[in-house]
Amino acid sequence: MGTTMRAAVFVGKGQIEVREVPRPEPGPGEALVKITLTTICGTDVHILRGEYPVKPGLVVGHEPVGRVEAVGVGVSGWEQGDRVIVGAITPCGQCGACLSGHGAQCSHGADGYEAIGGWRFGNTINGCQAEYVLVPNAQANLARIPAGLRDEDVVLCPDIMSTGFSAAERGVKIGDSVAVFAAGPIGLCAIAGARLSGAALVIAVDTAAHRLAVAKTMGADVVLDYKQQDVVAEIKRLTGGGADVTIEALGQQTTFENALRSVRPGGIVSSLGVYSGHLQVPLDAFAAGLGDHTIVTTLCPGGKERMRRLMSIVQAKRFPIASLVTHTMQLQNIVEAYDLFAHQRDGVLKVAIRP
């Protein structure tokens, strides 16, 4: 093998380029994975726009599907060529956060908890929009792809499926009413997760007709266009006063506020969006702090066991996740792929990237 590889590199605000960079070698506890498929996340668009800060020169991307190329000392049970996925969040499995069941906030050996500690790919270490990616704590993070599943079947498991499902897992009970604000890829996964969690009524809110149509296939019973009607009033009418759980899946003031206004007293607002700027909580919607509301946020659960469980759902045909991959492009065309995805053209939901 050569000593370099092609990778999508963050250069500065508004600029990601494909460059030739050094190919990493696995050290103790690490694995080198040859990427066969990856994708672009909304968080990557935040990085491109300068709304989430990362260091210039960083390889971006955090949704790896590939084959084991090599492993370092201390990594056992894997051979070159094994097909794997790795979660967007790579917990070490040994720190206080991991051992307390908060793997997404893994401190990776640091004392105490760190903000967004568990998210490393394309954030604090080089990511996977590249020909190869170096996986930290490989023993805790490599997850074998079951026979019969294609790369396209599992490429969304590392992040958006895990993230979207986590919104439902933080509060939805059998028989609940659930309203999901924004039917982008994350919201569509949240809709599917709510249905699988036992929701009796799932309401999807968006304005893009094609996304609302897909929401129906994901399990939404009712779809609402927020430009055509007062969605808060309609959700309250449909649920008899407010949904048991509302899910915010965009990361904007308006969607967060509408989620808060649409939940019943004592209900749960589950927020998934990555916010930029200043987020405000209106006192009337918050019932001045007296409404017994629960507001939860969730960072994508990772680790090999989480990935195994998600792939088992795909294998059992409980969730048509591959249908969310609407476009496929080559790594050398990733700048065009970012433009397509960021501007939601041509009915795009997710773009698969092939190195």
Q: How many other C-beta atoms lie within 10 A of the C-beta of residue 109?
A: 9
DSSP 8-state class, residue 128: S
| Torsion angle in degrees (nearest 10) through CA of 55, 56, 61, 62 | -10
In whole angstroms, what is the distance from residue 165 CA to residue 190 CA?
A: 5
Token pair in block for residue 259 = 């989620």
Of 311, 300, 295, 223, nearest in space to 256 by CA: 295
Token pair in block for residue 348 = 């795009």
Cβ within 8 Å of residue 96, ≥6 positions away: 107, 112, 113
Per-residue confidence (pLDDT) for residue 112, from 0 to 100? 52
Per-residue confidence (pLDDT) for residue 109, from 0 to 100? 61
Per-residue confidence (pLDDT) for residue 1, from 0 to 100? 61
pLDDT 10s per residue in the chain (355 long)?
679 999 999 999 999 999 999 999 999 999 999 999 999 999 999 999 998 899 999 999 999 999 999 999 999 999 999 999 999 999 998 888 899 999 999 987 655 545 456 899 999 999 999 999 999 999 999 999 999 999 999 999 999 999 999 999 999 999 999 999 999 999 999 999 999 999 999 999 999 999 999 999 999 999 999 999 999 999 999 999 999 999 999 999 999 999 999 999 999 999 998 887 789 999 999 988 999 999 999 999 999 999 999 999 999 999 989 999 999 999 999 999 999 999 989 999 999 999 9
Report the run of H or E that residue 151 belongs to, with start and end.
helix 151-154
* CA-based torsion, 163, 169, 170, 171: positive or negative: positive
Per-residue confidence (pLDDT) for residue 277, from 0 to 100? 79
DSSP 8-state class, residue 159: I
- Alpha carbon of 338 to those of 54, 186, 205, 299: distances in Å? 17, 17, 25, 23
Domains and CATH numbers, the chain: 4-160+300-354 (3.90.180.10), 171-297 (3.40.50.720)
Per-residue confidence (pLDDT) for residue 110, from 0 to 100? 57
Cβ within 8 Å of residue 328, ≥6 positions away: 351, 352, 353, 354
Per-residue confidence (pLDDT) for residue 32, from 0 to 100? 98
Claim: this prediction has a pTM higher than 0.85: yes
